[in-house]
Amino acid sequence: MAATQEKAAACCGGGAPARGAPAAVRAIAASPAGKVAMAAGDERVAASAVGGGAVIEEIATVQPTTAKASSKGYMLSQTRINWCDVLTELMPLLGGNHAGIPIMTRAQRSHPLDPLSAAEIAVAVATVRAAGRSPEERDSMRFVEVVLLEPEKNVVALADAYFFPPFQPSLLPRTKGLAVIPSRLPPRRAKLVVYNKQSNETSIWIVELSEVHAATRGGHHRGKVISSEIIPDVQPAMDAMEYAECEATVKSYPPFVEAMKRRGVDDMELVMVDAWCAGYYGDADAPSRRLGKPLIFCRTESDSPMENGYARPVEGIHVVVDMQNNTVIEFEDRKLVPLPPPDHLRNYTPGETRGGVDRSDVKPLIINQPEGPSFRINGYFVEWQKWNFRIGFTPKEGLVIHSVAYVDGSRGRRPIAHRLSFVEMVVPYGDPSEPHYRKNAFDAGEDGLGKNAHSLKKGCDCLGYIKYFDAHFTNFTGGVETIENCVCLHEEDHGILWKHQDWRTGLAEVRRSRRLTVSFICTVANYEYGFYWHFYQDGKIEAEVKLTGILSLGALMPGESRKYGTTIAPALYAPVHQHFFVARMDMAIDCKPNEAYNQVVEVNVKVESAGPHNVHNNAFYAEEKLLKSELQAMRDCDPSSVRHWIVRNPRTVNRTGQPTGYKLVPGSNCLPLALPEAKFLRRAGFLKHNLWVTQYKSDEIFPGGEFPNQNPRLHEGLPTWVKKDRSLEETDVVLWYVFGLTHIPRLEDWPDASRAYRLHAHGMSSELISVVNQWIPLTVLGKNIDLTMFSLLQPHGFFNCSPAVDVPPSSSDADVKEAESPKAMQSGLLSKL
């Protein structure tokens, strides 16, 4: 993933040179470039983006030319000079020994958490391929995933202390009270998941990328194999190339061609074959074979590439494909179900192309930021108002947020979370008939949310001043592919932040809320998923998932209806189903990257018993319980007791002496609507509880294990990890929040469904969620809910008062043109309303 300057510019700042600094330093500060940097007034060091990643070169120590003055060296890291776009002008002064000033530059080109660059991916693939024992083995290698092997947290601390922003010297290791300044960081490493198409084996390789930087200078691409291991009895995620091969295999299979002719289809170009992973329902699905069980659909017009082919599902044909050898191994035309007739409402393209007319009363809405954005970008490091964090991206998870912190006045940079991401999603269907009972996709583990991400060049829902990031992946044969403009970062207005009007004086104060949004969108077969992380001025962090795309449908016999779905068009129905998402939150409340002092308490609101403590029968209180171990921390939502959870650091306190913390407030949620014996729950045991808490372990990332595809092992992942019952008292804790929605399809979901899930932190009040062009009220008790809302992280005693009280007023009302409105009503009451 590479940072691109699509619409945003990195902003930097600086300070004045130290009094008595050498003449060369003062000359730099006096130069036009230096004046620009000084004027910004920020406390950072020189930085620039080179070769697709952030290159930070800091002047560490400037000493006078005389040896006797060595004890009076001038530390520019203390004066915090920061050079922005003008670094080119200053590079001659930074590149060596000028005017007797020895300069030590930091040659680290990539932060340890930066996503792999295209060059690094190419080096990793070439290194593994060269390590093959024979030409046949090398030719049969298929590269499922090449991803950064994230380093231990002490390495991240070292990088953030000295080599990269936020430049926190307090994170440096110390010996006898003195900071130990390292010369370099450990080499970056890549983890590769490789499928051998000849032997049907899956292996994991670790490659050190110590000399990849030479590639940018025309040198050799070299890496070093650290380890390789064949993983028995697994199948890795499917690849887009396999999907295309599966479609070609099925469409060229003579019995399938004949079956389609029985349904009146002679043109195979109209047929769509969507390969689905087989799951695991018994020995026939064992990972000894790589299986695909496709769903079949048929378009009506070969010359209409945007036609909604999912509107005509083909029922009654059973196909199993050997994905390793591209052969059909099972085929049966079990039941002749007529194709649904073409539905004139099936398409979703503009205007006449779908046989309709677009509305004409939509006026342009233009977002204008004449002074540019409030955020600043340095490689993958983001600063926005008091927030800062790093952006990452992986083939499975997609967007990852690293090193989240809030700059809190004199308390400085305060960590909140080490890593935030969506690590799995499961979509089980509730129709027991064939083929729908087998629909239970693990969209992260079986497909990859990141690998299926969109280039937002082809349609972006962001407005205003936007910063895009590219993403790099390997394709199945090892080539490097780039998704341009994959991640979008921008600011959004978000209504009222806070307001109060004194009824005695009539004086009012109001502040508008602004949030920083980081997002990406992916398509997995028929569904689209938009993943958003929002950062607010009052310290909240909200995660939102937007669902759109097309329903997965079934065909009906004439006069038939289905108990387990909704008829949405003639001979067409949408089965009931659920969507579950797992947010993994590696917390770090007031903890440095190499510290672990967090714990989790559960809070339930209790009604006081009748008696002397409740003489008016109105008393209630919040009762806390410390979750001491992993088995105690398998918890479910309980709206009747307003249940929520707080992650605290008992070693830091606020001004009232209470531990600082952030709370997870769940909104509406659900559990799987399936019996415990349901086959998909073998692989998705993590869905049985809404919250899990574990002690951090670097290889525990995916709740259903790393290879859920055709996984025969019972309850691999979270349900197995917590059996260790590790302590959760003052340690490095990870929250796994499982949230879900039960979708009973409506006619309004056709042809393009639109749903929004939010993990947000507005407490337990009623909220509004936008769905298409409607506002649907939501309440915490589950009444009047068509969608599901979820809460995420909200400061709880983390600050001494509201962190949003210092947000300045918005521009004058005189700058806002009032919209024309109908003639005012004369009713006194209505005019007051």
Residues involved in catalysis? 443, 527
Do you find a cis peptide bond into 703, omega within 30 degrees of 0? no
Sign of CA dihedral 626, 630, 632, 637: positive
Query: What is the distance, to the nearest Å, from the Cα of residue 333 to the centroid of all Cα atoms in its chain?
Result: 41
Torsion angle of alpha carbons 565, 569, 571, 573, nearest 10°?
A: -20
Instruction: Give the burial string for 800-827 (b: 16+ CB within 10 Å, else e).
Output: eeebbeebeeeeeeeeeeeeeeeeeeee
Cα maximum dimension of the chain: 98
Angle between the N-to-C axes of helices 87-94 and 32-39, in degrees from 0 to 180, rounded to the nearest 10: 110
Residue 479: CB partners within 8 Å, gap ≥ 6?
none
831: enclosing H helix or E strand: helix 828-832
Q: What is the C-alpha separation between 635 and 600, in angstroms, rounded?
A: 12
The β-bridge partners of 98 are 101
Q: What is the C-alpha separation between 703 and 687, in angstroms, rounded?
A: 9
User: Looking at residue 78, what DSSP letter applies?
Assistant: H
State the residue for tokens 């403590």.
Answer: 613
Contact 598, 647 (CB under 8 A): yes
3-state secondary structure of 117: coil
- Tokens found for residue 180: 């130990």
Q: What is the arrangement of strands in the sheet containing 201-208, beginning at the earlier edge strand?
A: 141-148, 189-196, 201-208, 224-231
User: Looking at residue 264, what DSSP letter applies?
Assistant: T
Query: What is the distance, to the nearest Å, from the Cα of residue 273 to the centroid of all Cα atoms in its chain?
Result: 29
Residue 424: CB partners within 8 Å, gap ≥ 6?
442, 443, 444, 445, 581, 582, 686, 702, 703, 704, 708
Q: Pick from 522, 818, 790: which is nearest to 639 by CA?
A: 790
Q: What is the C-alpha separation between 756 and 770, in angstroms, rounded?
A: 7
State the residue for tokens 């195979």.
Answer: 268
Contact 630, 724 (CB under 8 A): yes
Residue type, 779: T
Q: What is the C-alpha separation between 23 and 99, in angstroms, rounded?
A: 8
Instruction: Give the burial string for 138-159 (b: 16+ CB within 10 Å, else e).
Output: eebbbbbbbbbbbbebebbbbb
Helices vs strands, H then E, count in the chain: 12, 40
State the residue for tokens 């440096």.
Answer: 172
The β-bridge partners of 625 are 602
State the residue for tokens 């809910």.
Answer: 785
- Tokens found for residue 44: 């950072």
Ramachandran class of 466: left when φ > 0, alpha when ψ lies in -120 to 50, beta otherwise = beta
- Tokens found for residue 34: 């230096």
Q: What is the C-alpha separation between 763 and 61, in angstroms, rounded?
A: 49
DSSP for 450-517 reads TTTBPPGGG-----SS-EEEEEEEE-TTS-EEEEEEEEEEEEEEEEEEEEEE-TTT--EEEEEEEEEE
